Amino acid sequence: MQENQLHYSKACKKEGKISDRLFATQRPMDALCSKPNSFFPLSCKLLSKKTFSLTFLAPTRIIFFVCPFALSSCFSDKLPLFLKKRGACEKKEKNFYKKPRQAFLKKAEICLREKKAGRAIFILEELLQRDKRTKTKTEEVKALTKKLAEKSFYPLKNYDKALKYYSSLLDFPLKSREKFSAHYHIAKSFYYLQKRSQALIEIEKAFFEGISMEERKQALILKGGIFITQNQFDKASRLFQKQIENYPDHQDFFREYLAFIYESQKKFSLAVQELEKIEKPSAFLSLRIERLKERQSNQPGFL
């Protein structure tokens, strides 16, 4: 079987028409056979006397690959009804692309409610490609791109896709809030992909004129988090000390985060000092100060 797969892989590579590496590597048909109900056949076409192509709808993409007839016997038992339903499949493929926009959007919403985020993203991507081909109104394409970006980030947590669509969103005319959201999520995607330096460059772009204080706080927390993961605690503490000076009306928020930075460095006395300066204390804050003092007393060399 391994020998057949090797020949299959070489034959496909020679054709140069593989769009999914899954079928060019180990066990090309296993994924198809393990969950046959997840794969919807679209078409099967003769390419030449020696090869035929199969196109089918997978859970997250349309997959197209070429197979030489010489190897079809190796897995002919694993392609139930694919060749027999060729005409019906081609008709379904055409109908799939003729559905109105609302049908696509409704189907995507159903998939999201059923927690099938990958499937929803695939449907929205297909609609976006169709919109670009048919030159749909800019506002509709923008709304769809925004939806793809948001759903790729969460719940799918595919940060590569989120990067792609949030970056595309910046090509459209955006309101201040939308522009901030795009830069913020691009930076956060880089952060989750362990690309801290790029995240830092991108988060700087979120500090443009006109953002609200809540948005500023969001961006500062992310920037401070990047500094902490890079063990640049001095930069993180200086960042929030500067905010306390510039925005005294919001100093309680910045002092609380500054205390967290000192706590991360095990500088418990400095953390306590910052928390005691907070103008509006709470029961939780008092408990936190007590715990920090207790941790400080447990440090070696503390008198």
Pairing mode of beta strands 40-46, 51-57: antiparallel
> Which residues have C-beta within 8 Å of that of residue 255, sequence separation ≥ 6?
240, 244, 274, 275, 277, 278
Residue 195, domain member (yes or no):
yes
- Give tens-digit pLDDT for 83-116: 444 445 445 545 555 678 888 888 888 988 888 8
Amino acid (1-letter code) at residue 266: K
**pLDDT tens digits, 118-177:** 888 888 888 888 888 887 888 989 999 999 999 999 888 999 999 999 999 999 999 999
Mean of the per-residue pLDDT values of the chain:
77
What pLDDT does 67 receive? 54
Of the three residues 67, 92, 117, the one that is the final residue of a domain is 92
How confident is the model over 225-245, as pLDDT tens digits?
A: 999 999 999 999 999 999 999
Beta bridge partners of 68: 51
Residues 36-51: pLDDT tens digits? 444 455 555 555 545 5
Domain membership of residue 166 (yes or no) is no
The domain boundary residue, chosen from 73, 92, 111: 92
216 plus 283 within the same structural domain: no
In a domain, 167, yes or no: no
pLDDT value at position 90?
Answer: 47
E strand or H helix at 51? strand 51-57
What pLDDT does 44 receive? 52
Residues 224 and 274 in one domain: no
Residue 169 lies in a domain: no
Task: Count up the domains in the chain and report the number.
Answer: 4
**Same domain, yes or no: 121 and 187:** no
Whether 82 has a pLDDT exceeding 50, the answer reads no
Categorize the per-residue pLDDT at 194 as very low, low, confident or very high, splitting at 50, 70 and 90.
very high
Residue 261 is assigned to a structural domain of this protein:
yes
Amino acid, res. 194: Q
Q: What residues contact 265, with CB distance under 8 A and at least 6 apart?
A: 233
Stretch 192-198: mean pLDDT, rounded? Answer: 95
59 and 128 inside one domain: no
Q: Where are the alpha helices (DSSP H) in 194-282?
A: 196-204, 213-229, 233-246, 251-264, 268-276
185 with 205, same domain? Answer: yes
Give residue 213's domain range: 174-229
Task: Quote the CA–CA distance of 161 and 186 in Å, as a whole number.
Answer: 10
Final residue before a domain boundary, out of 53, 73, 92: 92
Residue 10 has pLDDT above 60, yes or no: no
Confirm whether 237 is domain-assigned. yes
Q: Which long-range contacts (CB under 8 A, 24 or more apart) does 233-241 make?
A: 233/261, 233/264, 233/265, 236/261, 237/261, 237/262
What's this model's pTM, rounded to 2 decimal places? 0.67
Tell me, what's the pLDDT at 303?
54
User: Does the CA dihedral 23-27-33-36 come out positive or negative?
Assistant: negative
Q: What is each CA distance from 52 to 47, 55, 73, 86, 93, in whole angstroms?
A: 5, 10, 13, 12, 17
